[in-house]
C-alpha cells in the first residue's frame, strides 16, 4: 500500500498517496505532449529544406536545419510593391491601438456594471453574454454595413474600433471585478479618493491577471487579422494578408509557407508564455463571487 502523505493547507488536511500524484503527473504529461506536438512540428517545419517537408511519412524533427525558408521569404517581400516594413507597421498599429482601447473601454465598463447599481445594468450585462454566442461570421455583414455608413471602410478604424467591443474582454473583467470587496472601495472613498483614482490605483492593479488575459486574446485576434473585408488599399494591408498571398504561390513556396506560419504565430505565443499564470488565475476566478 502506497505511503500516505499529509499536508495542512488552509486549515484542511489533504491526504493523497504518492501513487496518485504519479498517476496525475503521468496523465498531465500525456496531454501536454499531445497539445505541444503541433507547435513543435510547426517550428521544425520552418527550418526544414523542401525535401524534408515533402517526406512521407512526415518526420517531427528536422534533420538538416536551414535558414533558406526565411531568406526566401524576405527576398519575396522585398520585391513586393509595398515594403515589408509597411505591412508590419500596419499590423503592429492595429494590434497595439485595438488592444489598448479594448482594455480601457472594457475595464471601465466592467467597473461601472459591477460596482454601481443603475437601471438596465443587469440587462446590459445579459446582452453582452448573449453576444458571446455569435461568431464573427454571423456579424460580418452587419459590421460591414455599419462601417460603410460611418465611412470607415478602407481605414484603420474599421478594424480598431470594433476591437474595443470584444464581449469576452468585458465579461472576464466584470467577473473578476465582482470578486473585489465593496468594503475596500468604500474605505477608499472615506479616505477621500475619487472615482477615477479608485479605478486607476485600486481596480486596475487588482484585476491585472484579467486584463492581461484580455490582452492575450486581443493580440491573438488582431495580429492574425487579414482585414481583407474592410481594407482594400495595399498600403493599409496587414501582415497576415500579405503572407497569405505568398503561401498561395503553390508547392514551390511550401518552405516559405512554413516560415510564414512560424512568423505569424510567434508573437501571440511569446505573450502567452509570459502571461500564462495570469490567464489561469483569471479563468479560475471568473466565476467566483464575494
The lowest-confidence range among 115-124, 142-151, 211-220, 276-285 is: 276-285
Mean pLDDT of 195-203: 87
Residues 187, 199 contacting (CB under 8 angstroms): no
**Axis-axis angle for helices 239-247, 68-78 (nearest 10):** 110
pLDDT at 187: 87
Residue 13: which pLDDT band, with cuts at 50, 70 and 90? very low
Residue 176: which pLDDT band, with cuts at 50, 70 and 90? confident
pLDDT at 285: 53
pLDDT in tens, 119-138: 888 888 888 888 888 877 78
Of the candidates 252, 271, 256, 211, the one whose C-alpha atom is nearest the C-alpha of residue 45 is 256
Residue 6: which pLDDT band, with cuts at 50, 70 and 90? very low
pLDDT in tens, 201-236: 888 888 888 888 888 888 888 888 888 788 888 888
DSSP-based helix, strand, coil % in the chain, nearest 5: 70, 5, 25
CATH superfamily for domain 77-285: MetI-like (1.10.3720.10)
Mean pLDDT of the residues in the chain: 80
Residue 281: which pLDDT band, with cuts at 50, 70 and 90? low
With a cut of 70, say whether residue 184 has pLDDT above it: yes
pLDDT at 229: 81
Q: Where are the domains of the chain?
A: 18-66, 77-285
Mean pLDDT of 5-27: 64
Of the candidates 237, 241, 211, 208, the one whose C-alpha atom is nearest the C-alpha of residue 224 is 241
With a cut of 90, say whether residue 189 has pLDDT above it: no
pLDDT at 70: 83
DSSP state of 63: S
Q: How far apart are CA 189 and CA 106, in angstroms?
A: 23
Q: What is the pTM of this model?
A: 0.76
Give the three-class secondary structure for 81. Answer: coil
With a cut of 60, say whether residue 10 has pLDDT above it: no
Beta bridge partners of 6: 15
The lowest-confidence range among 9-18, 31-40, 80-89, 170-179 is: 9-18
In percent, the amount of the chain with pLDDT more than 70 equals 87
Amino acid at each position: 500500500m502506497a505511503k500516505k502523505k499529509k499536508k495542512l493547507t488552509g486549515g484542511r488536511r489533504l491526504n493523497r498517496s504518492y501513487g496518485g500524484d504519479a498517476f496525475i503527473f503521468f496523465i498531465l504529461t500525456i496531454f501536454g505532449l499531445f497539445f505541444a506536438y503541433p507547435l513543435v512540428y510547426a517550428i521544425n517545419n520552418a527550418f526544414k529544406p523542401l525535401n524534408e517537408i515533402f517526406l512521407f511519412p512526415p518526420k517531427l524533427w528536422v534533420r538538416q536545419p536551414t535558414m533558406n525558408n526565411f531568406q526566401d521569404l524576405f527576398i519575396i517581400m522585398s520585391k513586393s510593391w509595398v515594403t515589408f516594413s509597411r505591412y508590419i507597421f500596419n499590423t503592429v498599429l492595429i494590434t497595439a491601438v485595438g488592444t489598448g482601447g479594448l482594455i480601457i473601454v472594457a475595464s471601465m465598463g466592467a467597473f461601472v456594471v459591477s460596482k454601481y447599481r443603475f437601471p438596465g445594468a443587469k440587462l446590459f450585462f445579459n446582452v453582452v453574454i448573449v453576444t458571446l454566442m455569435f461568431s464573427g461570421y454571423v456579424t460580418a455583414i452587419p459590421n460591414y454595413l455599419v462601417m460603410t455608413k460611418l465611412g470607415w471602410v478602407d481605414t484603420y478604424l474599421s478594424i480598431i474600433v470594433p476591437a474595443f467591443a470584444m464581449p469576452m474582454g468585458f465579461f472576464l473583467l466584470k467577473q473578476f471585478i465582482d470578486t473585489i470587496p465593496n468594503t475596500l472601495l468604500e474605505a477608499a472613498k472615506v479616505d477621500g479618493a475619487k472615482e477615477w483614482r479608485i479605478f486607476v490605483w485600486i481596480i486596475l492593479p487588482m484585476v491585472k491577471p484579467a486584463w492581461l488575459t484580455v490582452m492575450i486574446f486581443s493580440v491573438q485576434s488582431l495580429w492574425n487579422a487579414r482585414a481583407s473585408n474592410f481594407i482594400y488599399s495595399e498600403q493599409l494591408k496587414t501582415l497576415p494578408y500579405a503572407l497569405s498571398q505568398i503561401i498561395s504561390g503553390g508547392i514551390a513556396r511550401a518552405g516559405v509557407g512554413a516560415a510564414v506560419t512560424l512568423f505569424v504565430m510567434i508573437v501571440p505565443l511569446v505573450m502567452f508564455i509570459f502571461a500564462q499564470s495570469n490567464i489561469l488565475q483569471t479563468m479560475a476566478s471568473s466565476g467566483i463571487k464575494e
